[in-house]
Structure 1
């Protein structure tokens, strides 16, 4: 079964919605105008319930099917990125310094397309909860929705999400059981020594030497402490210090990111990082302020739900159009918070030969919307068939 015919019928409407959203991007939790647009369309479709103001600007809409049954959740993120668009397209961002460079305008459109179809046909039992989420790009809007009790409030039993991916042919899908996206953590190291004249280093305590020692020692976490059979990235991404060639500075700053899938690996990194920083500080005679911040957890697909989702995707894209052995990504995704609480799956859908994500020349391919909306619609019909 390819793209659902009824969804194909209103593909032009989806293109109009998507391009409106693209031209009017909003950041993080401040997605109020986007949410208002979503709510207006949902009212047009005749959904049964609309709940606003969740996680500040999030929306959950309910569509009742035929007869009793559980509730299945479908999620789309709504927020854009703080970037200046350089596509030159007629529907380019009208807001300076903001653009939909990750395709969340397309994700919202796919879920709106599924909502229209499901509200018309209601060929399922129980209920579907349509989750329009703010603040995926920092802020962890999914986590806030979970904290506010959205999954419990709407009795969501399982949950699914899609993300477009450039480079994969339009309408093809890929996913993997188990971890699919990494946990993302950040570390901050402020080193303080005693500054002075570069000609008299004996009168100083050089924070640069200490910082260099810390950065070199941090590399040993992967090479000497970590089990190489488990994925891990530890990257130092910033070192800042100094102001002139003849001044030994007072301070230095180190910043970096940690990506992992396994909580034991994450714990190992946290332990070793602190030990290295404090040990190096003592050996060089500097003081440090050290902070490790846990970010989004790993996005872990439920194996059974992933297999089911892949079978549904095959109905849309054909068997050859679905890869269920995707290599896990070291990027992060706050849908992880939903999957920590409920079984479900996160899948990628092809966006064709476009610029990469988080690129100033990126644009969502409108042909992708019909495939994504069809997947969302069919997963509801398959998961909760009419008795």
Structure 2
């Protein structure tokens, strides 16, 4: 279960190539081709492409009965301008790998190298290079693909690098690790007017000024409680950028967040009730739709036990500090029908934070991450 010096060199070069050519959610066509080219010569029994958009799944099948284990990485980048001066900095204006998905992909590519030399003794390993994690569409698209049934796993594992935690140190716990969330877009429509005669139109201005604080009030409960709920207004736009027209249309965007999936329906209903009441009061037409829907990520106790055993066998320190997180992660949907668990791998205490414009994935984590996952695979499948 070791990587050669040549492997490490190739994997770092592969990661840097992905970093130089970032593609955001839904656009990962060339990334998928690069992944395919890198893993093709590791001789998987099957490579599926186009899963959930631009997803790639490599299947390493022992030919003997046994569990199917899926390891997931993400392939999408972010719409952020990179400001670093590293040699492999992004070559695409306004887009960059500021969340480390290039590194997560390299970890699975490292597993492909090792599985190609020495496959599982029983069952199957599926390496799932998943698109569109940042929007929540990728995992849902993969699971909805009819071909997923042929690779549906007994266990599903994933990881995310975590700046602020010592390099190589792991955070891992049972139960909730990431919140459910969804984006709510509220559109208010009235009638424009000349700015000298606003009374002849129907402006959404007062409605917007009331709606934003009323939505924020819907949050409540301590984050340690299952009833926790949170609403964050993230964007608003009203009218045109001119001085001569009183506005007739506005949008308010908010992120709704709950610790568990079940309270989300009630939080949505409460937010809709507030929006309906304010729109009616001000004589405005109301439209509501939802985007970027993430279910809660809940680590299965049995899956966590396998990861802990792998960490202990590899001598990697771990604890459950700083978990769960309020942030969302679309890996949670893999837990609907499979035993799943996600761990968080320290990127360094002084490392730039995720989504910062000067972030870069630490290459040392490629070997560490692949060691953990390979040990888990060997422990389960032999």
TM-score by length of 1: 0.88
Give the Cα–Cα distance (whole angstroms) in 2 for the partners of residues 64 and 186 of structure 1.
39
Paired residue for 1:144?
141
Cα deviation digits, residues 48-98 of structure 1 (max 9, x gap) = 322223233221112133743121111111121222222111111222232
Q: Which residue number corresponds to residue 285 of structure 2?
A: 287
| Equivalent residue, structure 1, for 2:329 | 333
User: Are 2:360 and 1:360 equivalent residues in the alignment?
Assistant: no
1:40-119 matches, within 5 Å, as: 40-65=37-62, 67-119=64-116
Q: Contact 1:11–1:370 (CA<8 Å) still a contact in 2?
A: yes
SS in 2 for 1:156: coil
Quote the residue 2:252 is aligned against: 254
Distance in 1 of aligned mates of 2:197 and 2:91:
55
- C-alpha distance in structure 2 between counterparts of 1:228 and 1:336, whole Å: 19
Q: Given that residues 60 and 120 in structure 2 are in contact (C-alpha distance below 8 angstroms), is that contact kept between their aligned partners in structure 1?
A: no
What secondary structure is seen at the aligned counterpart in 1 of 2:129? strand
Corresponding residue SS for 1:341:
coil
Structure 1 residue ranges without an equivalent (≥5): none
Provide the residue aligned with 1:168 in structure 2.
Answer: 165
Query: Are 1:210 and 2:207 an aligned pair?
Result: yes
What stretches of structure 2 of length at least 5 have no aligned partner? none
> How many correspondences in the alignment?
379
- How has the CA–CA distance of structure 1 residues 194 and 41 changed in structure 2, closer, same or farther, with 3 Å as cutoff? closer
Q: Distance in 1 between matches of 2:275 and 2:308?
A: 45
The 1:36/1:232 distance shift into structure 2, 3 A limit, reads same
User: What secondary structure sits across from 2:232 in the alignment?
Assistant: strand
Q: What value does the CA root-mean-square deviation take over the aligned residues?
A: 2.6
Summarize the alignment of residues 296-335 of structure 1 with structure 2, pairs less than 5 Å apart. 296-318=294-316, 321-335=317-331
SS of the equivalent of 1:164 reads strand
Which whole-Å deviations, capped at 9, do the CAs of 1:157-209 have from their partners, x for residues lacking one? 11101111112122111122122112221112222344556676665544211
2:218 touches 2:230 (CA, 8 Å); kept in 1? no
Matched, 1:350 2:346: yes
1:378 Cα deviation (Å)? 0.6
2:262 aligned partner: 264
Aligned with residue 127 of structure 1, among 100, 121, 124: 124
